[in-house]
């Protein structure tokens, strides 16, 4: 038995915490142990997409900075809006995309697929470095 577990049980025995609290603490210890056994840190879900732009103006003196924080939930809701595109409009969109070399059947996109795409954005980081500007997009 490790020391933390022993401490919790001693606190329970001394009446400093009740059984529920002890159970919660032990469960938390268990989760921690599992995470460390897996060799990684506990991965939290990203809540926001950040877009930052650092650019120099043409005069080269005054910098322009943009910082936008968008909740992930907004992206999820936005992709649901895409699901409401009427069939006629969808055909036009597909035709226009095909003309530009992108063959995509929008009717095959299901909300669960879109959810998966948004979930995958958590690991996304885009860095664009230009002479005059730096753009960074990342999830946090």
Partner 1 sequence: MIPFAATIGVDRGKRGSLRLWIPLFLVWLLLLPLVLVLFPLAFVVGLWARINAFRLYGVVWRILSSLRNTLVEVTNDGVAFRLRVL
- In the complex, the residues that contact partner 1 under the rule CB under 8 A are 47-48, 57, 62-71, 73-74, 76-78, 80-81, 84, 86-88
Output the smallest distance, CB 103 to partner 1, in A. 24
β-pair partners for 138: 50, 125
Which CB sits closer to partner 1, 26 or 135? 135
Q: Which residues pair with 48 in a beta bridge?
A: 71
What single-letter DSSP state applies at residue 45?
Answer: P
Residue 134 CA to residue 11 CA, distance in Å, equals 54
Please state the closest distance from residue 62 (CB atom) to partner 1, in A.
5
Indicate the residue among 30 and 78 with the shorter CB distance to partner 1.
Answer: 78
Nearer to partner 1, 28 or 74 (CB): 74
Asked whether the beta carbons of 136 and 127 are under 8 A apart, the reply is: yes
């Amino acid at each position: 038995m490790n020391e933390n577990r022993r401490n919790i049980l001693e606190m329970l025995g001394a009446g400093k915490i009740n059984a529920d609290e002890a159970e919660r603490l032990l469960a938390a210890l268990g989760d921690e142990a599992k995470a460390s056994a897996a060799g990684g840190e506990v991965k939290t879900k990203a809540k926001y997409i950040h877009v930052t732009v650092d650019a120099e103006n043409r005069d080269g003196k005054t910098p322009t900075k943009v910082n936008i924080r968008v909740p992930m939930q907004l992206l999820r809701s936005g992709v649901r809006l895409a699901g409401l595109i009427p069939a006629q409009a969808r055909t036009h969109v597909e035709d226009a995309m095909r003309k530009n070399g992108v063959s995509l059947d929008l009717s095959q996109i299901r909300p669960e697929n879109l959810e998966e795409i948004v979930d995958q954005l958590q690991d996304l980081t885009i860095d664009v470095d230009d002479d005059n500007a730096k753009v960074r997009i990342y999830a946090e």
